[in-house]
Chains A and B, each alone.
Chain A
Amino acid sequence: MIYPYLILAEFLSLAVQQYIPALPFGARVLLLPVVFFYAALAVPPPGMLLLAFTGGFMWDAFIATQTVNGNLEISLGWSIVVYAALGAIMNGFRPLFQRGHGWEIHCLLSGPLLCIFVLSEYLMITFRRGGFIFPKLIWWRIGGEGLAAMIAAPIIFLVLHWLALSLGILAPREEREAAQDRM
């Protein structure tokens, strides 16, 4: 059963990313979304939705949901929906993952998908706080985070994939390929 292992990976990545210093322009290395993107690639759609729920919930509970003067700026659950939407895109490439092309897909898509996620957060803030402020810095920050995600993605992929195969919670490539052919 791969799910407890991936939920634990999401939880640990949320804690670890707190200790990674900021990059230029205030960009951050966001590990939890990159771990989720791996999960979205590795599991079938219902599992992806489960992990979008756990990952998005952790993100909202710890980072995105702020109560200001008794009102919620972003509701608990909002990130879950965005995670699910982005996870669905990643999940569409699962047949390639089954055929052993995982890390390239994960690396190439993690950047743009993370950019969309961070931009959606900013748009939500802009909508709630008012003032349509879009200096160049915003784009540098979003782009920087996407780039950082693309650099971190292969490392995260290799670590998680190696662990999953070593612990026997992910079937070897041949079995996955055969299962894909049967579908």
Chain B
Amino acid sequence: MRQINAIAVAIFLVVVLVLFAFTPRNTQIMQARFLGLIAPLLKNGSSIQKQVIGLREGMKKLTELDTENKQLRVELNELRAKDQTLQGLEAENNQLRRALQFRERSQFRLVPARIIARDASTWWSTINVDKGSNDGVEPDQPVLTEDGLVGKTTIVSANACTILLISDENCGIAATVEGTRERGVVRGTRTSTQATPDLTLGLLSKMANLKPGMKVFSSGLGGVFPTGVLIGEVKNFEVLPLEGQATVVPAVDLSTIEDVFIVTGGTK
């Protein structure tokens, strides 16, 4: 081996060994810096992709847009009214909790975020969104849409963050099933061909006997996900040698979502 090659190999090995010695915290800092570097490119790419899709789908007629606009305004007003009512109910609920000396729930702040890149890896399910620490986002915060749970934040840079989807095997969520006292853990599957793969709800009792269509909600155990967020619906239930296990269809179509909400803040 030529001397220069031997020196290069030695330097290479030393640098790689230094990287291997990084703690998880330092690794996340490094990843956040790299995400910050690539995020502007992804944001521009996302805009270009939307423009291309828009051109491909063709322009809508002005009258159609006008009708749609009117409908959306009506829906917006309805939702505003509902939001007012819910805020009132939340305040009342907090008052009652105080009265019962329950821990008061904090007002969650929802940060709306736009997806700038979907995962391009073979074995992991992640997406990138255009909100980061400048908007109050931190690692391990839940992410949802109006339909249900999407995942949790992992790497957070100043203006972008990575979200680990509920369809990833690593994203375990403590869950309950409506109408029962069953508790389990929802996980993604390691391999699936579907864009929105089914989830598994494991660690159930063998006597659970869940029926298709039953709704699965987050239980709040574990401290990352808030209580009562819809995860999906039971598709089927089977009894394994050691536990009961259900297949769950996610409430959110992960392949088509464009915008999500990151829940910042938490329980006081």
* A interface residues with partner B (beta carbon < 8 Å): 11-12, 14-20, 22, 24-28, 30, 45-46, 49-50, 52-53, 57-58, 61-68, 70-73, 75-78, 80-81, 84, 118, 121-122, 125, 129, 131, 133, 135, 137-138, 141-142, 145
Contact = CB atoms under 8 A, between A and B. Distances in A.
28 contacts: A11-B38, A16-B45, A18-B42, A19-B45, A26-B191, A46-B5, A46-B8, A49-B12, A50-B8, A52-B12, A61-B30, A61-B31, A61-B35, A62-B38, A64-B124, A67-B28, A67-B154, A71-B24, A72-B24, A72-B27, A76-B20, A76-B30, A77-B16, A77-B20, A122-B122, A137-B191, A137-B193, A141-B191
Contact of A63 (B5, B121, B191, B193): B121
Contacts of A19: 45, 49, 117
B19 interface: yes
Contacts of A131: 190
A62 B45 contact: no
Contact of B121 (A45, A64, A71): A64
B38 A14 contact: yes
B170 interface: yes
B9 interface: yes
A125 B190 contact: yes
Interface in B106-151: 117-124, 128, 139
Given A58-B34, A61-B31, A81-B16, A75 B117 contact: no
A62 B31 contact: yes
Given A15-B42, A28-B121, A76-B22, A66 B164 contact: yes
Contacts of A49: 8-9, 12
Given A46-B4, A141-B122, 19 more contacts: A14-B38, A15-B38, A17-B120, A18-B117, A26-B191, A30-B120, A45-B5, A45-B8, A49-B12, A50-B8, A57-B19, A58-B34, A67-B24, A80-B16, A122-B122, A135-B191, A138-B191, A142-B122, A145-B122
Nearest to B44: A15
The winner among A45, A57, A76 for most chain B CB atoms within 10 A is A76
Interface in B147-200: 154-155, 164, 169-170, 190-193, 195
A121 B155 CA distance: 20
Contacts of A77: 16, 19-20, 22
B100 interface: no
B interface bracket (residues with beta carbon within 8 Å of A): 35 or more
B190 A133 contact: yes
B19 A18 contact: no
Contacts of B119: 18, 63
Nearest to B41: A15
A64 B24 CA distance: 14
Interface in B9-54: 9, 12, 15-16, 19-20, 22, 24, 27-28, 30-31, 34-35, 38, 41-42, 45, 49
Which 3 pairs, one residue from A and one from B, show the smallest C-beta to C-beta distance?
Answer: A77-B19, A46-B8, A61-B34
Contact of A18 (B5, B45, B170): B45
A61 B24 CA distance: 12
A65 B31 contact: yes
A28 B20 contact: no
Contact of B191 (A11, A22, A133): A133
Nearest to B12: A49
Nearest to A88: B9
Contact of A66 (B5, B15, B34, B154): B154
Contacts of A138: 191
A30 to B, nearest CB: 7
